[in-house]
């Protein structure tokens, strides 16, 4: 059995071998099982995550231990990550449950405050030997679609200053990406990504993975992105697979429905693992 993996270990291998690790948002056991099935079948590392805004539907005290147990039982290296942490209370709860990394999202705050709060959460995570991700600039939209946050692209110089002030293990950048389904094809600012990666020594993170074209993903990976967050695409794939299974007469009871949910999460994870160059990279 593999040990529960740390974000920094997974991302450092991804950086040295030029691929990105998929960070898949999950909302229930079926999604966890679907992602881990894909991970095992492709011999890949992975991250499973849940964002603080999603805890209304999936309480942390219930889904958190499930995620940690599933990762511990996987034969592949799997990190368990708390996504878009907003409050110290919930971040601490995730760390107590055994999450191996947390993100503090202070991207909407003034620069100094974002630095101060992120450094504080990084110090807290270190007490648990856990890693910390921060965000500089503003990724568009919000994780649950409840807010229409405008995109504010990362300034590479500010990203460097942010890294120096906080010591984060991974840094989320805003390069024209946004959460949820894109209304128009996103035009990613590869120039900003290239410049940021040349200044900041830690792996960079791309949020808002749903709807980004495969070639754009590959280009991002070649320029310094080593963690890619995927949420909406998983939820959509689960919903679509369930709907098509009903339409195809494949569901005649609860456990067929459950199997379709697992399948939906599995298919989506398989697709992204291949694009990210992550297949076969488990160590």
Residues 6 or more apart from 271 whose CB is under 8 A from it?
Answer: none
Q: Which of 13, 83, 169, 216 is catalytic?
A: 83
Least Cβ distance, residue 22 to ligand 13P (angstroms) = 11
Tokens 């499930």 sit on residue? 66
- Provide the 8-state DSSP code for 177: -
Closest to ligand 13P by CB, 177 or 251:
177
In this structure, what token pair is assigned to residue 53? 């805004």
Task: Let me know: does 60 contact 50? Beta carbons within 8 Å.
Answer: yes
Least Cβ distance, residue 138 to ligand 13P (angstroms) = 12
Closest to ligand 13P by CB, 151 or 257:
151
Known catalytic membership, residue 83: yes
Least Cβ distance, residue 177 to ligand 13P (angstroms) = 8
- How many alpha carbons fall within 13 Å on the CB side of residue 156? 14
Task: Let me know: does 174 contact 153? Beta carbons within 8 Å.
Answer: yes
Closest to ligand 13P by CB, 225 or 259:
225
**Residue numbers of the site for ligand 13P (CB under 6 A)?**
25, 51, 83-84, 143, 179-180, 207-210, 229-233
In this structure, what token pair is assigned to residue 54? 């999603």
- Buried b / exposed e across 203-237, counting CB within 10 Å, b at 16+? bbbbbbbbbbeeebbbbbbebbbbbbbbbbbbbeb
Least Cβ distance, residue 256 to ligand 13P (angstroms) = 27
Closest to ligand 13P by CB, 234 or 251:
234
User: Among all residues, which ones are annotated catalytic?
Assistant: 83
């Amino acid at each position: 059995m593999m040990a529960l993996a740390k974000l920094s270990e997974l991302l450092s291998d991804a950086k040295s071998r030029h691929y990105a690790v998929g960070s898949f948002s999950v909302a229930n056991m079926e999604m966890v099982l679907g992602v881990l099935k894909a991970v095992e079948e492709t011999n890949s590392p992975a991250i499973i995550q849940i964002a603080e805004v999603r805890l209304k539907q999936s309480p942390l005290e219930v889904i958190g231990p499930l995620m940690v147990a599933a990762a511990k039982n996987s034969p592949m290296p799997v990190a368990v990550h708390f996504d878009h942490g907003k409050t110290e209370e919930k971040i601490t709860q995730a760390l107590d449950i055994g999450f191996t990394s947390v993100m503090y999202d202070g991207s909407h705050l003034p620069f100094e405050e974002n630095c101060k709060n992120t450094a504080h959460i990084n110090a807290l995570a270190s007490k648990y030997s856990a890693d910390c991700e921060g965000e500089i600039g503003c990724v568009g939209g919000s994780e649950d679609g409840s807010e229409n946050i405008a995109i504010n692209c990362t300034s590479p110089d500010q990203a460097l200053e942010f890294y120096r002030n906080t010591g984060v293990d991974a840094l989320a950048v805003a390069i024209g990406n946004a959460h949820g389904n894109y209304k128009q094809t996103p035009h990613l600012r590869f120039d900003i990504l290239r410049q940021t990666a040349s200044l900041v020594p830690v792996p960079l993170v791309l949020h808002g993975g749903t709807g980004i074209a495969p070639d754009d993903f590959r280009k991002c990976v070649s320029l310094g992105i080593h963690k890619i967050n995927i949420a909406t695409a998983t939820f959509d794939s689960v919903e679509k697979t369930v709907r098509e299974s009903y339409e195809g007469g494949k569901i005649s009871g609860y456990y067929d429905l459950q199997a379709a949910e697992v399948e939906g999460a599995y298919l989506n994870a398989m697709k992204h693992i291949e694009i990210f160059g992550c297949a076969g990279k488990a160590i």
